[in-house]
Amino acid sequence: MKPLIAIIDWAKSPLSDSTAAVERGVIRDAAEVRTFLCASDADFTEEILGASALIVWHNTPVTAAGIARLRHCRAIIRNGVGFDSVDITAAKRAGIPVCNVPDYGTEEVADHAIALAMALCRQLFPLNAEAKQLGWTIRVTEKLRRLRTQTFGIVGLGRIGTATALRAKALGFQVHFYDPYLPNGVDKAIGIARERSLNDLLRRADVLSLHCPLTDETRHLVAARELALMKSSAFVVNTARGAVVEKAALFRALREDRLAGAGLDVVEDEPLKTAEEAATPNLIVTCHAAFCSVESKAEMRATSARIARAAALGEPLENVVS
């Protein structure tokens, strides 16, 4: 019998194509391909537990308990950039490589971050609301910014952070970044400024844009203490992972007018849970959609399928993170 590659999609909000046309086109006759809807790994069926590879869509947790039940798995592929939904320590103990797709949505996420920043700096949503009330009063004059006088601060200068930096630079922002893991000279290569501490970047930034993975080190990287260091006129943009920013501290800062605004594509414990959260002032929220485009989705699925096919055939794997 052919090995099985199981595509695991989140039952609460499935994004996959039930026909798996892209994946089948890549995997061809190397394995059988089937799609399963699961709320968590507690829903894994006997078929899934016997699969040679798992392709896991967003928000379906794969825990140590689920990993321990896998019988023949040669790879768990997170169908996206982030892999915090997979217990990579447990996978490593079980000898199962964990892979991701780090580059499929680089352009889209960078574009989305800039779109959120521009909407905040130019106050598009308050102005839209005023115009649609048949009014013409510019009530947000003090928040409208000339971009070339503003410092665009980036945390994490990886693929997406770099793409965002280049876009911000082209718009005239003064771009600064903080990333303790990059060698000296990166700032010279792309013509932006480097901050040697997160605190210095927080104090300087007029727009703070987050582009780091969610790890034990970065969870609540921006919380009450960090927000207190920022200018009250500053904006926070997060297109990375929700829990990089402590939701309660950020929303409190917005309600108390200690921050001018925030643009979030990701939220800690997403989606928003209450009407009170949704009513937080000066807040723009999108539906964890920064990665999304017709082109990026096809690229992501094809890359995941290519890695899964290699796993099923016992070939070397790309993008191993564990």
* Contact by Cβ (8 Å): 241, 58: no
| Tokens at 296, concatenated | 């990026």
Residue 288 annotated in active site: yes
Catalytic residue among 107, 130, 270, 299: 270
Mention every residue, 6+ apart, whose C-beta is less than 8 A from residue 128: none
Q: Which pairs with CB-CB distance under 8 Å and at least 24 residues apart come from 24-30?
A: 25/302, 25/305, 26/302, 26/305, 26/306, 26/309, 27/305, 27/308, 27/309, 27/312, 28/309, 29/2, 30/2, 30/3, 30/309, 30/312, 30/313
User: Active-site residue among 78, 145, 176, 241?
Assistant: 241
Which are the contacts of 272, defined by CB distance < 8 A and separation ≥ 6?
278, 285
Beta bridge partners of 236: 208, 262
Displacement of CA 277 from its chain's centroid (Å)? 20
Instruction: Tell me the residue type at 63.
Output: T
* β-strand pairing of 207-210 with 32-38: unpaired
Structure tokens that stand for 81 in this block: 């950039």
The answer to whether residue 241 is catalytic is yes
Is 270 noted as a catalytic residue in this protein? yes
Q: How many of the other CB atoms lie within 10 Å of CB of 294?
A: 7
The two structure tokens encoding residue 183: 């060698």
- Are 203 and 196 in contact by the 8 Å Cβ rule? The answer is no
Side by side, the strands of the sheet bearing 98-99 are 32-38, 4-10, 53-56, 75-78, 98-99
Per the residue annotation, which of 211, 288, 306, 309 is the catalytic one?
288
Q: Decide the pairing of beta strands 75-78 and 98-99.
A: parallel
Active site residues: 241, 270, 288
